[in-house]
Structure 1
């Protein structure tokens, strides 16, 4: 019996070590590739967190999950080419959803632009290459939930708010059913 327990413990240890080695790998060019786990320590009074997701050529790709140091889910964000681009969900510490919506990447990380720089003394023009950082904005409908169940819907067009509505599901009245509606003169609706 003791040999079986020892064998199972050793097997679990080997599997845990091999799984950890499978994550956080780089290729020959030192680019992050494949499954990745990142730990971010506390900064300026903000608590630390852990990231889990996949890197492709040193850029975040697909769904990344952010957890508290205790393992509670904080966020699920979709990345494409290292920038937020797709469905995002955010959660309260008790696990209830706090916000959902789409992000739109307007700049891709690593994208290069060439600009002309003019020397103010000599008026000499030189071409300079600028490397962009990834940048994303809210796009489409976002739903923001408070802890009491109220929902605020905001609509965005490439980061600009185009409308917002607050609704309270506890106070919402449903539309009358067809048999409850007035149908013709003299008939009254039943309440």
Structure 2
């Protein structure tokens, strides 16, 4: 009986050890790796928040969750290579959904390009390396929710540019045509040409 008890206890200890996740770890090159929890304090009157998600080689990767100090979820954002790229959901401070949609990456942070720059005084052209900061734009359908009623409206984007529902191909959002007048009735100005004028 004692051996069975010790065997069960040993299994529980092994499972507990495996299930524990170590947070905020760095590799040999001091790069952030794995699961991280980061607290951001109050700045210029804006309340602080807590970020939680995964790093891969010092870059945010996957879904990151932002919560208030009270534990209310404020945002769930998808990152690739440290830039917003994927489905994101935002919430009002009361926990109700505010908006949701997809971001796509147009520039990767750290991407290097070489451009030719002309000196305005000497007219000498020299190659100059620029490092991109990373950029994301809205793409596709974004749903926005009214805080009080929960009513949803859609906005449509094509690589950051606002487009119409018809341009996006959403036929459910296109306004229906005005109904025809019942019984073939015409408005007075439409029938004006049919009346005979009195001859004087």
Runs of 4+ in 1 over 6 A off after TM superposition: none
Q: Deviations over 1:74-102 (max 9, x none)?
A: 00000011110110001122222111101
Question: Could you say what the CA RMSD is over the residues aligned between the two structures, in angstroms?
Answer: 1.9
TM-score calculated relative to the size of structure 2: 0.69
Gaps spanning 5+ residues in structure 1: where?
A: 1-10, 165-191
Gaps spanning 5+ residues in structure 2: where?
A: 1-12, 166-200
Distance 1:30 1:128 in 2: 29
SS in structure 2 of the partner of residue 123 of structure 1: coil
Higher-Rg structure is: 2
Aligned to 1:161: 162
Does residue 25 of structure 1 match 2:32? no
Distance 1:150 1:29 in 2: 49
SS in structure 2 of the partner of residue 34 of structure 1: strand
Distance 1:33 1:144 in 2: 34
SS in structure 1 of the partner of residue 85 of structure 2: strand
SS in structure 2 of the partner of residue 122 of structure 1: coil
- How many residue pairs get aligned? The number is 148
Distance 1:98 1:50 in 2: 19
Distance 1:72 1:149 in 2: 18
Distance 2:93 2:125 in 1: 54
SS in structure 2 of the partner of residue 53 of structure 1: strand
Structure (1 or 2) with the greater strand fraction: 1
